[in-house]
Structure 1
Amino acid sequence: MTLPGAQRNLAMNVIEIFHSIQGESTLTGIPTTFVRFARCNLRCVWCDTPYSFGGGTPMTQEEILGEIKTAGLQHICLTGGEPLLQQDLPEFCSRLLAEGYVVSIETGGHMDISVLPEGVKRICDIKTPGAFGNAITGDSTELFVNTEFHEENIKHLTSFDEVKFVVMSLEELPWVKSVLETYSLADRVGAVHISPVHGTIELEALARFLVEEKLPARLHLQMHKFVFGEDAIGV
């Protein structure tokens, strides 16, 4: 199956492979090997990994597996950039699963997640319109206007998956609430995360909103930025 915007290569383009603790999702704190793939076809205004936009280094699946095995960690996180731009990613995921690894992927939500094999935990972003500098509409029939979200992904989400809303202002929260309610997301997935852009929102106010509005979601902070520093790379 050919993914929109993807290019088939004998190798996948990798920005970096590193070993650290997982800083996001319900897997937070678990020692993990990260494979950061190159390229992204979105430009979120708050992106904290713009260095992943470039071409990266071509690596075969065997070369990537070799580096993964040197660390000896069970958990593997595929991230980017947008990992689904790598044509051979579904096949690579199947190989990792066959090797006995616990595999998760962090995806922007704008590409078809159904191409991934069963057993991969899909941590799917749902971008707010503000992620692209766009106004937020209150019309529930136009929730995903100006968000780039691939709406078909909602029906593919399961209780094994997780969704994440990155917000940079309190004004985005009513939109998040509308999406949660309109699509009953908390009933579809294993966890819903609301993650503030680091250093942009008063955390107490965000926590109060979740409590007062009874949102079925978790306040999610990026642990690695507290442990290693806001600007650290490769952690």
Structure 2
Amino acid sequence: MCYMQRALSKEDTLVIHEIYASIQGESTFAGLPCTFVRTTGCNLRCSWCDTTQAFYGGTRMPRTDVLAKALATGTKLVELTGGEPLLQPAVFRLMTELCDAGRTVLVETSGEADVSQVDPRVHKIMDLKAPGSGESKRNRWSNLEHIGPRDEIKFVLASREDYEWMRDAIRSRELPSRTPNLLASTVFGKLLPKQLVTWVLEDALPVRVQLQMHKYIWAPDTQGV
């Protein structure tokens, strides 16, 4: 066993927190059956993070086993999430293999990790961290050069300050010219969605207000759903 682990490179194994089938709770794919491959580990510590359980632990698995398990669920949609999936080199090859297998592949990423090497067939769902996250300074703005019409930019908002930051970023960075898929959601239990809707309508902001469907279907802290 130890010899096999040493023989496998970082591109051959991943540390996995969980793999499960559910519905997609967010993004333009919301409501569709989806298999989630959740990796372990994140280099950010957002104040509102709802997956802190994925910071540590997990099981190191051969990439081929992860691929087989993801395909075995039978869903056409597969999302790589975390943690921060792009911290693990094997994720890039896994995403390509999933695309080759005919799956529609999403990757949810923090906006700090470099997205330039992601297979162009993959739909990138990239956060831009507002001040309320405590990690706004970590945004890798050069990632915007690798965002296209199939990709999505997500903002998670906890306050009016966060909203105004998002509004100014959308305008100053001309984000609608990069992708029509701009997503705005609230920190669950912190900012009321109806307040966000009011602000978006007042400013005629070109965003899709979204709810985390899975948190309304199941309890907000339920895992593996």
Residue type at the aligned position of 1:74: K
Specify the alignment match of 1:164 in structure 2: 154
1:206 partner amino acid:
L
CA contact (8 A) 1:112 1:153 kept: yes
1:1-235 equivalence runs, <5 A: 8=10, 10-132=12-134, 146-235=136-225
Q: TM-score, normalised by structure 1?
A: 0.89
Equivalent residues, number: 217
State, as a whole percentage, how many aligned pairs show the same letter: 38
SS at match of 1:27: coil
Q: Find runs of 4+ consecutive structure 1 residues off by over 2 angstroms.
A: 7-10
Indicate conservation of the 8 Å contact 2:185/2:193, yes or no: no
On the 8 A contact 1:15/1:57 being kept in 2, the answer is yes
State the alpha-carbon separation in 2 of the partners of residues 169 and 129 from structure 1: 9
Conserved in 2, the CA contact under 8 Å of 1:17 and 1:33?
yes
Q: 1:165 is matched by which residue type in structure 2?
A: F
Residue type of the alignment partner of 2:73: A
1:108–1:125 contact (8 Å) kept in structure 2: yes
Verify the 8 A CA contact 1:131 1:147 in the aligned structure 2: no
Q: Give the counterpart letter for 2:98 in structure 1.
A: L
Q: Distance in 2 between matches of 1:189 and 1:55?
A: 35
Give the conservation status (yes or no) of the 8 Å contact 2:21–2:73. yes
Gaps of 5+ in 2: 1-8
1:79-104 CA distance string (max 9 Å, x none): 00000011111111111111111000
Q: Is 2:126–2:153's contact at 8 Å kept on the other side of the alignment?
A: yes
- Measure how far apart 1:164 and its partner are: 0.4
Aligned-residue Cα RMSD (Å) equals 1.3
Give 5+ residue unaligned stretches, structure 1. Answer: 1-6, 134-145
Q: Distance in 1 between matches of 2:78 and 2:158?
A: 28
Q: 1:110 to 1:124 in 2, by over 3 A?
A: same
